[in-house]
Structure 1
């Protein structure tokens, strides 16, 4: 209890080295403090209600948060060179079109990322920082539409990307192309074999056994 409120209503007794304050009107003090708490809460509620529609309509940075939660980097003097970013923008771009191959995109992207290493910096830290630069148009819009901070590892990023641009329906269609593959009229065996291997490469998760 705070004796400064009304010193006359409190009694003090010593117990060893400690002072015990006794309030003979404890019920009244409790009600007074509860009333003060309620008044403070009501005041805060009123202030919140006084926000105008304009206040709620003002844009904030909350909605601009990235869907990627990039791993922290403890290494000193780490920097991704602008030449690497420009190389990705010039040579590895995925727009989200139906005829694009997401598996090839990831393979080409990782090929560039693996060209440089930095002590104390994980592969995830590098890949998650660079991957947004490899997307544009619809694909970039898709990445930005994901919940803020919903991706924190490269495996999560690759899985979400492939689930979006290589859905089960596309897998089923390409699996059918593989299992019904035939040599075309006038096509050499070599060209037919190369075309078949290209189909397999585009569906690395086809699940067909080698002997089959």
Structure 2
């Protein structure tokens, strides 16, 4: 009779359990095979095709962007000749006053001409620059103009002045100067300053303005009786 020590018995049990576990794992693997993952498409691509695909993608983007621009061009108030014009390279027109449709249109136009006199641009380019000065009601007016009806800066500014003519400031006449009276307890210097400021609002010669001032100060009764 063979007697096993405790250590030998434990070794046999461990060896038997290891073989059983290995057999179980082999049987499970045979019944459930594990397929390797498919190779990454990016790795299988030819590196030389990357620039071509990038170029194709850029062309698609440009195509999507250009389509709405074509539709907008067909409905734009400017003629095709104006739309085809571009500012010369490096030219930047800045610090132009904006017109929102509430002020004097002639004053805005005078400021615009004073600014663009520094630039040597084409008539079509000036049309595009003038459009950038419009905002709010003025820009809404421009956008509703019939398509292709603006072919020159003169045509654009004439329509602009005509549409906003109700906002044009009415010049004061010479009679307005005689309504400026010296207030009670008002120093003569302050009164003369107010009068001079009013003179600049009247489109008349300087001599006539100062003559009215002289008559009002030196001969008030005579000037009022006239």
Of structures 1 and 2, the larger Rg is shown by 2
Q: Calculate the TM-score normalised by the size of structure 1.
A: 0.49
- Higher helix proportion (structure 1 or 2): 2
Q: Calculate the TM-score normalised by the size of structure 2.
A: 0.46
